[in-house]
Amino acid sequence: MDFDDTGRRRDGRELTYSEYINVPALLRSQRLPTELPRGRRREEWPERPQINDPTQPGATRTWTEGDRWPREWPYEELLFIITHQTFELWFRQLLHDLDDVLLHARDIVAKHGGTIPDNGLATRDSATAPPLHDALARYPQTAAVVARINAGHVWETRWVRELRAPGVLPGETAPQTHALRLEWFDDATLALFSRRIVRATRILRHATGAFDILGTMPPEEFLGFRSRLNPASGFGSTQFREIEISVGLKDMHRAKLASDGELSFLRHMPADEVTRMRGRMQEPSLRDLVYALLNAADVRGTHAEAAARADRVASRNLALLHDEFAGTLARFGEGSDVENSLHNRWRSIDEILVHAETSVLADMYTRPRARPGLHELLERCLDLDDTIRAWRTNHIPMVERIIGSRPGTGGGGISYLHTTMRNSRAFPTLWDFRSVLT
């Protein structure tokens, strides 16, 4: 194509829709690999058929990408390919939006001489928090409730001795504590972040609807070409893994990136894509940003302010647990099942209260107008987290509908997909604190 000095085409034609969107390349992308997959015989792999050459009447030529899907090949394979190609295009836009948020945030923090620290959730251990009864002097409201509890039932007296000091993780010297200041992010910036995350969420929600389309594929027709996919698998979607890593689900991928086993990424992705994933593992995630903001110096406050906030939240929840205990005992008696149920409830609340972000969030959500930009950002992150989980949830019955319980081409299958639902919340505290909101 020839252009003049002004950048216009010399043939006088204007830019067309097809050229701008690159439609010919998109239509040529529905292809079949020419290489023979592992474990397949040549006779199992379809030869490219001869078709009529539209440019030369009466002549034939070998089918090439971009021609109409040949009738000699499995009919449903085109749907399978196009659906997954569409996923990858949407994933690219989703990463485009997430990257914009994270790069913008990193630039802002860097201007103030800082970095976005790792959130540290993977290494947090509530057992390292000091026992509540050794720290009651810091929590006067909670101490008053504990005194009431200690004068009551022996079960409660025992359970209250197991409680940990609230709001102490991460500690005052942890890298996440006071690493940022919320004031560095003005309202316009936080609103931009929220808009980007809203779109990312809607993209993934829209893409999830394609599982319904794939579900129209009869299982027997999928089996007509499934064996040729081996070992290729949706497990090898680098971009979806990059989304998970960028959102904050890094821990789901560490072992797979280090391993050469059946469910490792090394077996399912080209080396350059694995390198790209490893690069993202070293970059701050959206979870890192959110937890750093919740622990920001002007959000978390001084040591005394953080303790007072944790005291308010903990005392209210202990009072509620105490009331709940009395009501449950009056209704059901002192059976072992009642004891176990109530004890588990106490331990669950204790596990939530030990995190400093819990009391920050509980306080913020009772005064949402105090930090509206941050409040909006948190809600949009929750939406994205929920949509990623919905993607997994909808994926499972679609796969089961088509292949049942047999292993996937990548070695996974239904049993593996169910394991991905565990610990799949990118922002666990955004969910957990709602259990202690009073």
Q: Can you tell me the distance from the alpha carbon of 26 to that of 18, in angstroms, rounded to the nearest whole number?
A: 10
pLDDT for the residue numbered 345 = 97
Q: Using alpha carbons, list the distances in angstroms from residue 276 to 57, 257, 269, 375, 438.
A: 48, 11, 11, 32, 44
Arithmetic mean of pLDDT, 141-167: 97
Question: Is residue 269 scored above 90 in pLDDT?
Answer: no
Q: Can you tell me the distance from the alpha carbon of 306 to that of 328, in angstroms, rounded to the nearest whole number?
A: 33
Identify residue 74 by its one-letter amino acid code: P
Positions of CATH 1.20.58.480 in the chain: 81-119+176-291+369-435
| Among 10-14, 36-40, 289-293, 429-433, the least confident range | 36-40
Arithmetic mean of pLDDT, 147-168: 97
The band of 404, judged by pLDDT with boundaries at 50, 70 and 90, is: confident
Instruction: Give this prediction's pTM.
Output: 0.92
Q: Can you tell me the distance from the alpha carbon of 170 to that of 122, in angstroms, rounded to the nearest whole number?
A: 12
Q: Can you tell me the distance from the alpha carbon of 430 to that of 324, in angstroms, rounded to the nearest whole number?
A: 24
Query: Residue 169 gets which letter from DSSP?
Result: B
For domain 81-119+176-291+369-435, give its CATH number from 2.40.50.100, 1.20.58.480, 1.10.150.130, 2.60.130.10.
Answer: 1.20.58.480
